[in-house]
Amino acid sequence: MAEEEEVQEKLQVSKKQAVQLAGPGGAGPASKIEQRTSTQVLVEHNAKGAEVTVKGPKAKVAKAMTMLKVLVAFKEAASPEERGLCHWFACGFCRDGRDDEDGCEAGLHSSKIIAETQAAWLAKAPKNEAISKVNARPLLLVVSCGGAGPPVLPSTPGAPGLVGPRPQAGGGIGCPEEDLLELCMVAVDWEAGGEVSRFHRFIRPTMWDQQDAHMREANPAACFSDKPAAVHFTDALADLLDWLPRLLGVSMDEMRTEDILFVSPRDFEVQSLLPRRCSLNGAVDYGLQDFFFRRWCCLKDVFREHFALPNEAAPNGLNAMARYLGLPPSDKTRRTFCLDENVSVVRVVLELLKKGWKPKATAWRHAVGASTTFLLPRRGDLPDMEQNSRKRGFWEVEAPPPAPIIPKLPPTAKIIGATAKVAPKPIPPWQRAGLPVPPPPEPEPAMAEAQAEQTQELEQPEPVEQTELEAAPFMAEPVEPVESVGLEAMDFLAEISAELPAGTTFEAVD
């Protein structure tokens, strides 16, 4: 069979597409195409971007080129609804602000479309005046947050501002305030089983205003939004404090902690992210933080508790939760990550209410700075075992591993999760090698006298052959008194069991 003709073809791609094809450590789509088509794919960078060369047999090269063109053309053919919106640009600045094909992967950079999308989402809230005041308590606040969490980097002399690592898409200057760029809430009346109102704000970091001149010198004009739809965090909090009392029909001074309950797919938002952002630069008083963030409800624990699921069987992500409840896929319209996530969370919450879920807190603490108590054991284990699962510090490198914690539970106790214990089966007497034989129970006085009289009347037993002695322990009628024969049989079995392999059993001989 003649060898197939060796050919090579080339494809010009942009710089960003070349980086995506190569992937981290060379393990990107290009290497996968090589494995699936048995060709050689080379990515060579040039002034225009990069040139991808495919070498190999003609049929396999054609297949590899088809796969490459599909990957490259996917973004070019994506509509604005499929690309979504960039929340960085919505707040006023994005480092990937270019109009070419190497633009921002986070979404569109259009102030007009961003403002229209935000207004359209808020307009979908119910407008019926009859539900403007919610009587059910607590009022459920389905919360979602968007942003990036770069580490706090020290500023260097001559370089004002912080330059943090680039996130997967978009990016700012790396300041701590970029942890929270978007806040979205939907109020749900759990008794009526429906939405009440919606709240959404893009949040602009104050450090961007302080470093505005330096940012404009270091970045092109396309990175900045001419009409950002964002407000500062303190202004967003003031709007939230006006929104909540109006829904509850009370004043701010009359609100109680039990009147509201945050609901989120994770513990992270209410437990860590929002309190950390409130504490930054002393923006929010600790008393107000304690009022809002002392208790919340995590949907992961709701599924475990309401449906009695072990930890390994409970759905983890929003898509898995929706599939478990039998919900159809959501709409394909992309907004921002925060808005898209909130839409999915609200669908799950409303379906849970239809199935009889009664909202209650799954985590609480007496103050924001205090430790958190959870309704269910975390990761399916007992709460005390969580101490042994933490990461060890450098000062504990030479320390021995902590002793395992063995829970003291009755044999019939059940533990939800992967650590469920089963009561051990009793070991048969003939498998207890080396164990002391317990003495027989002492007979009652009346029975002891009767047995003594019967023994005196009996004559000496006739001698028994060796074969009968071996079968005697397994016979229905003993040839000697019960007490002596039973003890001899147990001693005999204990001696031979020590010499036989473990698990050996005996059968009765007729």
Note whether 175 and 205 are within 8 A (CB).
yes
Residue 427 has pLDDT above 70, yes or no: no
- 321 shares a domain with 225: yes
Q: Do 271 and 335 reside in the same domain of the chain?
A: yes
Confirm if 187 and 139 have CB atoms less than 8 A apart.
Answer: yes
What is the reported pLDDT for 469?
43
Do 34 and 67 fall into the same domain?
A: yes
Confidence of residue 17 (pLDDT cuts 50, 70, 90): confident
Kindly report which listed range (48-62, 86-100, 256-270) carries the lowest average pLDDT score: 86-100
**pLDDT of 464 above 60:** no
- Report the percentage of the chain scoring pLDDT > 90: 28
CA angle, residues 439, 443, 444, in degrees to nearest 5: 145
Higher pLDDT, residue 288 or 390 = 288
Q: In the predicted model, what is the mean pLDDT of residues 252-279? A: 91
Last residue of a domain, one of 77, 111, 138: 77
| Same domain flag for 50 and 175 | no
State the pLDDT at residue 44: 84
Is residue 255 pLDDT above 70, yes or no?
yes
Best CA proximity match to 491, nearest among 446, 435, 450: 435
Q: In what order do the strands lie in the sheet with 40-46?
A: 6-13, 49-57, 40-46
Top mean pLDDT of 53-62, 249-258, 347-356 is at: 347-356
pLDDT at 144: 94
Domain range for 210 is 83-149+168-376
Question: In the prediction, which pLDDT does 484 show?
Answer: 46
Strand runs (DSSP E) across 147-294, as ranges?
182-189, 194-203, 230-231, 260-264
pLDDT value at residue 151: 37
Closest CA to 297 of 379, 352, 355: 352
Closest CA to 288 of 241, 246, 250, 321: 241
Question: Tell me: the pLDDT tens digits for 22-36?
Answer: 776 667 788 888 888
Distance CA 238, CA 251 (A): 14
Q: Considering only 27-41, 313-327, 398-412, 429-443, which range has the smallest mean pLDDT?
A: 398-412
Tokens 């789509």 locate to 29
Q: In this structure, is residue 444 part of a structural domain?
A: yes
Number of domains, the chain: 3
Residue 454 vs residue 229, higher pLDDT? 229
Cα separation, 254 vs 28, whole angstroms: 57
Residue range 149-156: mean pLDDT, rounded: 38
Nearest to 267 by CA among 346, 362, 386: 362
Residues 73, 141 share a domain: no
On whether both 53 and 193 belong to a single domain, the answer is no
- What CATH number is given to the structural domain containing 38? 3.30.1370.10
In a domain, 389, yes or no: no
Give the end-to-end CA distance of the chain in Å, rounded to a whole number: 75
* Residue 413 belongs to some domain of the structure: no
Task: Mark whether 324 and 351 lie in a shared domain.
Answer: yes
Q: Record the pTM.
A: 0.62
Residue 71 lies in a domain: yes
Same-domain pairing of 132 and 266: yes
Per-residue pLDDT at 41 exceeds 80 = yes
The arithmetic mean of pLDDT across residues 203-212, rounded, is 92
Residue-level pLDDT at 181:
93
Do you find a cis peptide bond into 24, omega within 30 degrees of 0? no
Give me the pLDDT at residue 155, please.
38
| Domain stops at, among 344, 376, 408 | 376
Q: Hey, what amino acid is at 168?
A: Q
The encoded tokens of residue 153 equal 């980097």
Are 103 and 49 in the same domain? no
Indicate whether 172 and 63 sit together in one domain. no
Least confident of 28-42, 61-75, 268-282, 490-504: 490-504
pLDDT per residue as tens digits for the range 60-109: 888 888 888 877 765 554 555 567 888 899 999 988 876 555 567 778 88
Of 351, 345, 360, the closest CA to residue 302 belongs to 360
pLDDT tens column, 277-321: 998 877 788 888 999 999 999 999 999 999 999 888 889 889 899
Q: Is residue 182 domain-resident? A: yes
Residue 211's domain is classified under what CATH number?
3.30.420.10
Domain annotation covers residue 141: yes
The per-residue pLDDT for range 105-121, each reduced to its tens digit, is 778 888 898 999 999 99
Of 31, 54, 77, which one is at a domain's C-terminal end?
77
pLDDT (average), residues 378-387: 44
pLDDT recorded at residue 100: 52
- Phi/psi at 279 (5° precision): -80, -15
Q: Is residue 506 part of a domain?
A: no
Instruction: Kindly state whether residue 12 falls inside one of the protein's structural domains.
Output: yes
> Rg of the chain over CA atoms, in angstroms?
36
Q: Which residue did the predictor score with more confidence, 179 or 159? A: 179
Is the pLDDT assigned to residue 478 strictly greater than 90? Answer: no
Question: Which amino acid makes up residue 19?
Answer: V
Is residue 232 within 8 A of residue 208, CB to CB? The reply is: no
- Tell whether 187 and 237 lie within a shared domain: yes
- According to DSSP, the residues that pair with 50 across neighbouring strands are 13, 45
pLDDT value, residue 483: 47
Beta bridge partners of 184: 144, 200
Same domain assignment for residues 101 and 234: yes
- Predicted pLDDT at 384: 43
Q: What residues does 72 pair with on adjacent strands?
A: none
Q: State the chain's mean pLDDT as an integer.
A: 75
